[in-house]
Chain A
């Protein structure tokens, strides 16, 4: 837990570190994921435990394999991917499909790029998108109110550590609420929040997948929220999580472009201000 300390003084420049190390970032994310994971396991029992075991084995094998091939230290970053998948697919799909999807996401979205922080999409999003594409009909489990409620403490922790941007959360939720109101005439915000809280926090607002400028974060949130409604086939009080997964995937592909446009706009604005 040394790396979580408020400020670690170090041997040489920079002498002080106020940020979390990448390992500590993963640790905070795992801690934020634990309550929803517990809630899921409590509700699904044996099926959930089976899925958990399969996910743990798959992610550990791939992390180990890449550590060996690349001569790097073993990382635990894929644990967050496994936990997210566990909450979203708690024994609703066959174990071999789960293992295949997790492998696809962890390897192709993360490990081939050199690990967490060097790719461009969230590994869990890629896994889920793969699963939905490859095995039509395998639905993502809708959030139970218990899971949604258990997301709250993690959300607070992630926002306070800056690992999740409140701008993304608010703009994505606002876009969803607005579109739902447009299509159905009314929106029950509590039902909507319950349905998407987990996916919004851990898939859409992933700092590595989202845009990284403040204005870009607003745009990214709006884009993802809008796309989720666009992809959603049935009109309802909340978009299906399948649609949200694809919206998050497309959003993370567009995030660098959003940042680029924001920077261009900022530079142009500064030039005009100076004359």
Chain B
């Protein structure tokens, strides 16, 4: 109960996954953005104006020089920007017309250490996210489990089976290889009725998931499988990144291509396109909607952000209405007063966070920045995308993503 049926009509929660033919879209530029990797201070391996191949190292993490980020497309380094405190803002690569042979190197994955070194050196390491806290894992870290998330439930997300059906072998190869990185299980979270057949492997477990958002989120799988919390770190990785791992092992080549969806309430014809990591959104969304009428955001309408570049882990671009600037300054809701709006503990909020976490106490703890209480309530296993739906369901209109990050930062510093 609690989810009002008239709220559901036209609600983004009912938006279907985007399927259909995949069109190739060549972007004129792509970027690695720092927003996706908070706390990373880069040590640059290239300078502005350098020519790079797709797969060439762009920069390394100062704290862990083994971790590197590679160019998603061949071209010229167009700009390198820093955020405050020498954090990364963005490294932009402008596509070059000339096709060049990408660097192919033989990969050695005979041992766990060799696979680790390969993934680190070939730029696939940043695809992992380690919980708690959701950072790129330490190169030496051994996780309790690895979660491969091949479920999409965000509105207008791409149907994962479209990307996987032709790459089933690469996906299986990548998934099997990942078992070398952990002593625990590798969980494959697949949508029910996926039709991929069985992917066999020691310590490879398949979980089939059905249901609406937030059932497909990594955080939901984590709780369903009883991982995280008091245990050791758990890594999560997206299905297309696993395909990239398989591709690297198969061909020795870095696979920067990703299949993403372009959809949203202001997109008349949602569609799938094949592009590269960090592709320029202006190029991708061109023709999908009138730029004056719609805004393109990277990610879903819940957890996305306004950005010029596709987020490193984002698999969709959402087009939403451009609110007229004239009405921006005017408060539409006079009753909210001028301070923060009140949190009315409606029973709809419980639908936003599964597995019986105490939602309202958690939101209150996040709102006041009470790290101790939030930790007790189970916030360690969450990252921004897990609370994004709550921000939409809460009467206060607060964005709980940054509030959660502030609390996580505090917990991390005090650890």
A and B held together in a complex: yes
Interface residues, chain A, with chain B CB atoms under 8 Å away: 2-3, 6-7, 9-26, 70-77, 114-118, 159-163, 165-167, 207-208, 210, 212-214, 217, 259, 262-263, 266-267, 270-271, 273-274
A248 to B13, CA, bound (A): 36
A22 to B396, CA, bound (A): 7
A19 to B11, CA, bound (A): 11
A22-B344 contact in complex given A73-B334, A161-B4, C-beta closer than 8 Å:
yes
9 contacts between A and B (CB under 8 A): A13-B391, A16-B12, A17-B392, A19-B397, A118-B342, A161-B4, A213-B360, A259-B358, A263-B376
> What chain B residues lie within 8 Å of A20 (beta carbons)?
344, 346, 395
Which of B302, B336, B346 is the one whose CB lies under 8 Å from A23? B336
Q: Is B7 at the interface (CB under 8 A from chain A)?
A: yes
A117-B343 contact in complex given A7-B11, A263-B361, C-beta closer than 8 Å:
yes
A266 to B230, CA, bound (A): 15
Which of A17, A21, A114, A116 is the one whose CB lies under 8 Å from B339? A114
Report the nearest B residue to A2, measured CB to CB: B332
Least CB distance, B285 to chain A, in whole angstroms: 15
Q: How many residues of B contact A (CB 8 A)?
A: 66
> What chain B residues lie within 8 Å of A166 (beta carbons)?
1, 347
Q: Is B287 at the interface (CB under 8 A from chain A)?
A: no
Q: Render B294-313 as a binary contact track against A, CB cut-off 8 A, 1 for contact.
A: 00010001101110000000
A207-B346 contact in complex given A23-B334, A270-B229, C-beta closer than 8 Å:
yes
Report the nearest A residue to B2, measured CB to CB: A162
Instruction: State the 8 A-B residue pairs at the shortest beta-carbon distance, nearest first.
Output: A117-B342, A23-B335, A212-B345, A212-B360, A162-B348, A162-B346, A14-B391, A72-B337
Which of A3, A71, A208 is the one whose CB lies under 8 Å from B333? A3
A115 to B361, CA, bound (A): 20
- Say whether B11 contacts A14, CB under 8 Å: no
Q: Render B1-21 as a binary contact track against A, CB cut-off 8 A, 1 for contact.
A: 111111111111100000000
Least CB distance, A183 to chain B, in whole angstroms: 31
Tell me whether chain B's interface is mostly helix, strand or loop, or mixed: loop
Least CB distance, B13 to chain A, in whole angstroms: 7
- From 1 to 50 in chain B, residues with beta carbon under 8 angstroms from any chain A beta carbon are 1-13
> What chain B residues lie within 8 Å of A7 (beta carbons)?
7, 10-12, 265
Q: Is B401 at the interface (CB under 8 A from chain A)?
A: yes
A75 to B339, CA, bound (A): 12
- Say whether A76 contacts B339, CB under 8 Å: no
A18-B345 contact in complex given A2-B332, A162-B2, C-beta closer than 8 Å:
no
- Say whether A23 contacts B376, CB under 8 Å: no
Q: Is B388 at the interface (CB under 8 A from chain A)?
A: yes
Least CB distance, B98 to chain A, in whole angstroms: 39
> What chain B residues lie within 8 Å of A116 (beta carbons)?
342
- Say whether A6 contacts B302, CB under 8 Å: no
Report the nearest B residue to A16, measured CB to CB: B301
Q: Which of B10, B302, B358 has the most CB of A within 10 A?
A: B358
> What chain A residues lie within 8 Å of B395 (beta carbons)?
19-22, 25, 117
A151 to B345, CA, bound (A): 22
- From 311 to 363 in chain B, residues with beta carbon under 8 angstroms from any chain A beta carbon are 318, 320-321, 323, 328, 331-339, 341-350, 356, 358-361
Least CB distance, B43 to chain A, in whole angstroms: 31
Report the nearest B residue to A213, measured CB to CB: B358
- From 345 to 391 in chain B, residues with beta carbon under 8 angstroms from any chain A beta carbon are 345-350, 356, 358-361, 376-378, 388, 391
- Say whether A18 contacts B11, CB under 8 Å: yes
Q: Is B393 at the interface (CB under 8 A from chain A)?
A: yes
- Say whether A76 contacts B342, CB under 8 Å: no
- Say whether B13 contacts A18, CB under 8 Å: yes
Q: Is B234 at the interface (CB under 8 A from chain A)?
A: no
- From 240 to 295 in chain B, residues with beta carbon under 8 angstroms from any chain A beta carbon are 265
Q: Is B394 at the interface (CB under 8 A from chain A)?
A: yes
A74-B358 contact in complex given A11-B323, A22-B395, C-beta closer than 8 Å:
no
| A23-B335, A212-B345 known, 10 other contacts, Cβ within 8 Å | A6-B7, A7-B7, A13-B305, A18-B12, A25-B395, A72-B338, A117-B341, A161-B348, A162-B348, A213-B359
A210 to B12, CA, bound (A): 30
Least CB distance, A258 to chain B, in whole angstroms: 11
A182 to B350, CA, bound (A): 35
Report the nearest A residue to B377, measured CB to CB: A263
> What chain B residues lie within 8 Å of A11 (beta carbons)?
323, 328
Least CB distance, A54 to chain B, in whole angstroms: 23
> What chain A residues lie within 8 Å of B197 (beta carbons)?
none
A165 to B378, CA, bound (A): 24
Q: Which of B297, B335, B391, B399 has the most CB of A within 10 A?
A: B335
Least CB distance, B357 to chain A, in whole angstroms: 8
A72 to B388, CA, bound (A): 29
> What chain B residues lie within 8 Å of A10 (beta carbons)?
323
A115-B332 contact in complex given A9-B320, A14-B399, A19-B348, C-beta closer than 8 Å:
no
> What chain A residues lie within 8 Å of B333 (beta carbons)?
3, 21-24
> What chain A residues lie within 8 Å of B391 (beta carbons)?
13-14
